[in-house]
Structure 1
Amino acid sequence: MRHDEIWRAIDTLAAERGLSPSALARQAGLDATSFNPSKRRTADGKLRWPSTESIAKILDATGAKLEHFSALVNGARAIPEARAKGRSRLPLIGMAQAGAEGFFDDGGYPAGAGWDEVELPTVADVHAYALSISGESMLPVYRPGDTIIVSPAAPVRQGDRVVVRTQDEAVMAKLLLRRTAGQIELGSLNPDYPDLRFSARAVLWMHRIVWASQ
C-alpha cells in the first residue's frame, strides 16, 4: 500500500460523489485543506499520510464501506457503473492554454470561466475534461488538433498515457514510463522528442487520458 495509492483512493471517493477533495473534507467535518495536494508532503518533501481518523470520517460521511475504499486503493474502477452519472458535454481548452493560471484549481480539476465545451462520448468521471492537442511530441498517436478526454479520477499506472502539470506550470501529454516515491519518468511517443524526468515534488498532478478523437 503506497502513499500515492491512498491519496488516489481519497480523490476517487470524492469524484464518485461529484465532490472535489476539499469539498469531501468539509463534508466529513475536516479542515477544507486537509486533502489538498500541497498537504500531501511536508515542506522538506517527506510523505504525509492521511490519518486513520480522517479516513474513518470520510467513510462515515459518504456511506462508503471500508471494503470499497480498500478496492480503490488497490486500483479498482474509478467510478462503479451503477453509480456513474455520465456527461456528454465536457469543458475544453487548448493544451497551450492549460498551463496558464485560473484553468485548474489546487486539486487539478477544471475551474474558472475560460473553458469552452465539446460534445463527446459519455464519461463517468464528474471532473473529466477535454484538451485539444498541440505540438508534435505525441505523434503519430495524437496529432495537433486531436481532442483527448482526461479523467482525474481514473487510476494511473505505468504505461498509461497521461496529462501532467509541473510546478513551472507546464502542461503536457506523455506516457508514464516509471513512477517511484521520488521520481517520475515520462516518455514522448514521437522518438524525435526526449524522455523527461522529474522529481515527484515537481509534478503537481497527473491525470489519465481515457479517450482520444481519431
Structure 2
Amino acid sequence: MLKHADIWRAIDRLAHEYGLSASGLAKKAGLDPTTFNKSKRLTREGKARWPSTESIAKILEATHSDLSEFIGYVHGEGGKGVFRNVPLIGLAQAGSNGFFDDAGYPTGGSWDEIPFPDIPDANAYALEITGASMEPVYRDGDIVLVSPQANIRRGDRVVVKTQEGEVMAKQLRRRSARRIELQSLNPEYEDRSFEMEEIIWIHRIIWASQ
C-alpha cells in the first residue's frame, strides 16, 4: 500500500535528481514555491496531507520525467524500484465478461500489461479511463491503479461493477450492510445509489497517472 511519507520522499528524490530543492521543483513546475514545503505535508491538526495528482503531473512534465521514474523513487533509492507487470484493462472491457472472476480479480489474460512497482496486492490492475464522466478528477486516457484487496473507507475513490455490467469510478459517500451511496466525480453527472445485492464488486483506487 502506498504511504503518505513515500510520496513526499519521491518528490524530494525527484527534486534532488534534477539539482533542485523541493521549492525549486515547485517553482519550475509553475506551482506556488511553498507547495512541497515540509509545513504543507501535515494539516494544523497533524493529519497527513497528500500532494495532488495535478501537482505531481506538473513536476513530471517540468522535469521531462515519466510516471515509472517517479514511482521508482516511491519504492526504491535512485528510482530503482522493483517492478512487475499488471493487467491494463479498458473501462469498457471491465464491463464485459471474461476479464474478472467472481471475486472481482483479473482473469483470462486477454489484456495489455504495464510495468508498475510491486505492491502487496497480487491482484492489482490498471484501468484506463474513457469518456468525460469522471472529469475533472480523471480524464479520458488517464490510468488508475486499482487494488481489490485494499481496505475501503468513506471518502475513498473506488471502482464499482454492478450486476448490470456497468463499471464506474466514483467516491464512496456511504456504505451500510444493505446499501451503498456513490458520489460522482463530475458534477454534471448524477450521484448513484445501489442496494448491495446490485453490486458485484467494489475496489479502491490507490494511484492515478495524470
- The answer (yes or no) to whether the contact 2:83–2:115 under 8 Å persists in 1 is no
> Does 2:90 align with 1:94?
yes
What's the TM-score, normalizing by structure 2? 0.59
- Residues 18-44 of structure 1: per-residue CA shift (max 9 Å, x gap): xxxxxxxxxxxxxxxxxxxxxxxxxxx
Taking the aligned partners of 2:145 and 2:180, their CA distance within structure 1 comes to 22
Aligned to 1:118: 114
Aligned to 2:102: 106
Q: Counterpart of 1:151 in structure 2: which amino acid? A: S
Give the SS at the match of 1:123. Answer: coil
Taking the aligned partners of 1:122 and 1:174, their CA distance within structure 2 comes to 25
Q: Counterpart of 2:124 in structure 1: which amino acid? A: A
> Does 2:141 align with 1:153?
no
**Count of residue correspondences:** 130
Give the SS at the match of 1:97. Answer: helix
Aligned to 1:193: 189
Identity of aligned residues (%): 58
> Does 2:197 align with 1:207?
no
Q: Counterpart of 1:118 in structure 2: which amino acid? A: I
Aligned to 1:166: 162
- The answer (yes or no) to whether the contact 1:128–1:150 under 8 Å persists in 2 is yes
Q: Counterpart of 1:181 in structure 2: which amino acid? A: A
Q: Which runs of 5+ in 1 are unaligned?
A: 1-85
Q: CA RMSD in A?
A: 1.5
Any residues of structure 2 matched to 1:51-90 within 5 Å, and which?
87-90=83-86
- The answer (yes or no) to whether the contact 1:92–1:129 under 8 Å persists in 2 is yes
Taking the aligned partners of 1:92 and 1:133, their CA distance within structure 2 comes to 11
What's the TM-score, normalizing by structure 1? 0.58
Q: Which runs of 5+ in 2 are unaligned?
A: 1-81
Q: Counterpart of 1:143 in structure 2: which amino acid? A: R
Taking the aligned partners of 2:83 and 2:171, their CA distance within structure 1 comes to 26
Taking the aligned partners of 1:121 and 1:189, their CA distance within structure 2 comes to 27
Taking the aligned partners of 1:120 and 1:188, their CA distance within structure 2 comes to 27
Taking the aligned partners of 2:177 and 2:101, their CA distance within structure 1 comes to 24
Aligned to 2:64: none
Please report how far the alpha carbon of residue 121 of structure 1 lies from its aligned counterpart in structure 2 after TM superposition.
3.2
Larger Rg: 2
Aligned to 2:173: 177
